[in-house]
Amino acid sequence: MAKRLTWAIPGDIETVSGGYAYDRRIIAELGRLGWEVELVSLGDGFPRPNAAQKASAEALLMSTANDRPIVLDGLAFGALPEIAAALHRTRPVVALVHHPLSLETGLTPDVSAELFSSERAALMATRKVIVTSEWTAAVLADQFDVPTDRISVVLPGVDRPTAAIRCRGEALRLLSVGTIVPRKGFDILVEAVAQLANLPWHLKIAGDHSRHEAEAARLGSIISRHNLSARVEVLGKVSPDHLQALYRDADLFVSATHFEGYGMAFAEAMASGLPIVGTTGGAIPWTVPSSAGRLVPPGNAAALADALSELIKDDGHRQKLAVGAQKEAAKLPSWSASGIRFSDLLATLT
C-alpha cells in the first residue's frame, strides 16, 4: 500500500530559517523512505493572516485529499483552530510545533494572549503533536494542556562535517547565525561585543535581514553608534555551502537569542567543533550542555560580554569546550534517523 501524506506550510519552503530547514530535510527523508508527500503552500501572513489570507489557506486545506494524514507546520496551524477542527473530523491531523507562537519576542500582551488562545484551541484538534525538543513538549503539556501521550519529540538531525583544523589568527573569529528578527537578540549581541573593544575579535552575522526590515535597520544603527562597522559584518542570507564554510572558519559561535524551541544553529556549530556562548532561553540548555559552552540569561549584554571575554582570553578553556561540543554533537541524531522516527510516528496513524 502506498504511503501518502499531505504537508502544509505557510509561505515558501525554501525560506532560510531553522523551522523551514527542518521541514525540508524531514520531507526529503520521508521521500527516501517511500512516502509520497503532497506539499501545500498556504500563502503569506502567518501567524497573523488577514481575512483574505486566512480564507485562502482554509480553502487550500479543505481541498486536500482526506484519505491520508496531514502535517501542518505550527506557524500556520496555531492560527487556524476552526479549520483544524474541520480537518480533524475527516483525517489524522499532525501539528508540527517548532515553538509556541505566543512566546515570540516583541509581541504585545494582547497579541500574545490571542495567539496562545488560538494555538491552544488548534492543538485540541490533533491526533499527534510532533515537537522538536523535550522543552517544547513540556511547555505544550504544562501550559497548553496537550495530553502527553499525544506529544512526540523528533529532534532535528545534524550533518557530520569533517572537523576543521583551526589556527588562531590575530583576532578571534566569532560567528552568529539567525534571521534578523527581535527574538534572535542581535542588538544584545552587538551591545555585548561593544564592551570588548580592547580585545582581539571579529564578528560575522549570517542570516536573512529582509524578514524584519525595522530590526535590520536598528541593528545597523547600533553597529554604527558603537563604531563597529569594521569589526562586525552583517552578511545577510547565505547559501548552505557558504554557511558551512563560515562554521569551518570560525573560532567560536555566539548567540544572544531570547529563546529557541531547539536551536539548530547551536547543534550545527557544535558539530563543527565550535565552543558556544549562548543564552538559557527556551530549549538551549537541553541542546548545549555545560561541557560545550557558556550560557547566560537572555537579554543580559553584560553577562554575555563576560562570557565572551573569558573565552577570547582563555585558549585552553575554549579548546576544552570545543572538544566537548564535538562529543555532544556526536550524540545527536542524523537526519536519516530523525526521518525514520518521523516516518514511524506517521505509520501509526495510517
| CA neighbor of 180 nearest in space, from 171, 172, 189 | 189
Supply the mean pLDDT for the chain.
95
From the CB of residue 120, how many other CB atoms can be counted at a distance below 10 Å?
18
Q: What pLDDT does 350 receive?
A: 76
> What are the grid coordinates assigned to 313, written together?
582570553
As for how many domains the chain has, the answer is 2
Q: What pLDDT does 124 receive?
A: 96
User: Checking DSSP bridges between strand 151-153 and strand 172-177, what pairing results, if any?
Assistant: unpaired
Q: What pLDDT does 161 receive?
A: 75
Regions of the chain where pLDDT drops below 70: 1, 162-169
Domain enclosing residue 116, as ranges:
3-157+334-347
In-domain check, residue 162: no
Q: What pLDDT does 322 receive?
A: 96
Q: What pLDDT does 160 receive?
A: 81
Q: What pLDDT does 57 receive?
A: 96
Q: Taking a C-beta distance cutoff of 8 angstroms, is the pair 178, 212 a contact?
A: no
Q: Taking a C-beta distance cutoff of 8 angstroms, is the pair 180, 254 a contact?
A: no
Q: What pLDDT does 163 receive?
A: 62
Please check whether residues 263 and 339 belong to one and the same domain: no
In-domain check, residue 273: yes
In-domain check, residue 80: yes
- Write the CB contacts of 292 (distance below 8 Å, at least 6 apart in sequence): 270, 275, 276, 321, 324, 325, 327, 328
How far CA 311 is from CA of 24, 214, 316, in Å, comes to 35, 32, 9
CATH number at residue 129: 3.40.50.2000
